[in-house]
Amino acid sequence: MAGASGDELTAEQRAVYDRQLRVWGVEAQRRLGQATFFVAGLTGLSAEACKNVVLAGIGSVVLFDDGTSAEDAHPGNFLAHAGVADHEGDAASLTAAEATAATLAQMNPFGTVTVARGDASASASEGTQSDFAGITEGMLKGVDVVLLGGASVAARERVGDLARAAGAKIFAGAVRGYAADFVADLGDVFEHVVETNASSEPTKTTTKTATFVTLRAAMSSSWSDLGAGRDGGTRRVNRLAAAATACAAFEKARGKPPSGKADLAAMIAEIPALELQNGLKPGWMKPEALVEYTGGADARASDDGVVAESPAVAAVAGGVLAQEMLRAVTKVGEPVRNAFFFSAADGQGTVENLGCGA
């Protein structure tokens, strides 16, 4: 893929991106062409997001290579599987990141897709999801947006801190069974443009700011804070958000994400005490939300803590995630502040506030 450069879009680029130019304009498209995305954790959700941002015209995508072979790529990573199928040489020598990059490189001629190998001396903690220990602060310098797919709480916190230090926006997301979520940190102050279009008046453009907290702070949110700034307060909160923070606390305490009936039973038993502690009425938290968020009562995580993804859920959530990653660069439209949750059970996606305040 040949990278686009210069201040002006070529006639070919204008033709390819015609629909996008009508939505967010030439300046926003130029920003995308000059942006760099760093993606680690090549899950099905990440694959969907990568596909969409590459097609949208991101200038450079860097895939973190943790050494996983292409033949052992995440089951939902259709990009890697396609890369293996199209590879003419010995597929056994390919990594999942290399196979994914090969497929993405064919999708858009106006950007580059490269692979960055991690620190070989760093290794994941035994018995937990990959902690992406090979990602260093130096890797994130000059990066505009970071995406972590299927990361542990520890990885979200550590890499989230590195991204903040490097001045990069970061998203961390996962699909567990038929539920999906992602959390965003766009920095202390994110300036963006919002258009209002009343039928009787010309379109008005307003510059607004939104504040975000670190991923570390977001994952430590208490249930009583989830209703901040929302009409109806905690009564209107998607209980998957409460499940997310409860599971994060469980993982930090136990060193592994909850999975299976025993872990769920232990968490469900703690609900009354947590409701009382947060000043919530008994019955506010639904045990079903914990079951759904963890992938189901019978869901069993693999040795690295991964629960199987629903491809359909990954496609839906990945589309929303890609849109928000692009918005972090174009700065056009109201961003998700700061978490998104989707459930296939009711087909609904909601934006939730994890620790950002009113």
Q: pLDDT of 155-167, one tens digit each?
A: 999 999 999 999 9
128 or 271: which leads in pLDDT: 271
Q: Are the CB atoms for 104 and 50 separated by under 8 Å?
A: yes
Q: Please report the pLDDT score of residue 198 as a whole number.
A: 64
Report the predicted TM-score, pTM, of the whole model to 2 decimal places.
0.89
pLDDT confidence band for 276 (50 / 70 / 90): very high
Q: Looking at residue 120, what is its pLDDT?
A: 55
User: Residue 145: which pLDDT band, with cuts at 50, 70 and 90?
Assistant: very high
Give the chain's radius of gyration (CA, Å). 20
Distance CA 159, CA 239 (A): 26
Q: What average pLDDT does the segment 67-85 reach?
A: 94
pLDDT (0 to 100) of residue 126:
37
pLDDT score, position 98: 96
pLDDT of the residue at 268: 96
Counting residues of the chain whose pLDDT is more than 70, the rounded percentage is 87
pLDDT value of position 128: 39
Q: How far apart are CA 282 and CA 295, in angstroms?
A: 24
In this prediction, residue 4 has a pLDDT band, given cuts at 50, 70 and 90, of very low
Task: Give the mean model confidence (pLDDT) for residues 20-34.
Answer: 76
In order of start, what are the domains of the chain with their CATH numbers?
Answer: 11-198+311-352 (3.40.50.720), 215-293 (no CATH)
pLDDT for residue 127: 36
- Mean pLDDT of all residues belonging to the chain: 88
Tens-place pLDDT, residues 342-358: 999 999 999 999 999 88
In one-letter notation, the amino acid at residue 200 is: S
What pLDDT score was predicted for residue 32?
87
Higher pLDDT, 302 or 149: 149
> Residue 315: what pLDDT?
97
Rounded mean pLDDT, 264-283: 95
**β partners of residue 110:** none
**Beta-strand (E) ranges in the chain?**
36-40, 60-65, 112-117, 145-149, 169-176, 179-185, 190-196, 204-210, 339-343, 348-352
Mean pLDDT of 5-14: 66
Inform me whether the pLDDT recorded for 148 exceeds 60: yes
Q: What is the pLDDT of residues 170-197, one digit of tens each?
A: 999 999 999 999 999 999 999 999 987 7
Average pLDDT over residues 138-145: 96
Query: Residue 326: pLDDT above 60?
Result: yes
Residue 186 structure tokens: 């766009």
Is 124 a residue whose pLDDT tops 50?
no
Q: Where are the alpha helices (DSSP H) in 184-308?
A: 215-218, 239-254, 260-277, 287-293
Phi-psi region of 17 (alpha: psi -120 to 50; beta: other; left: phi over 0): alpha
The pair phi, psi for residue 17, each rounded to 5°, is -100, 20
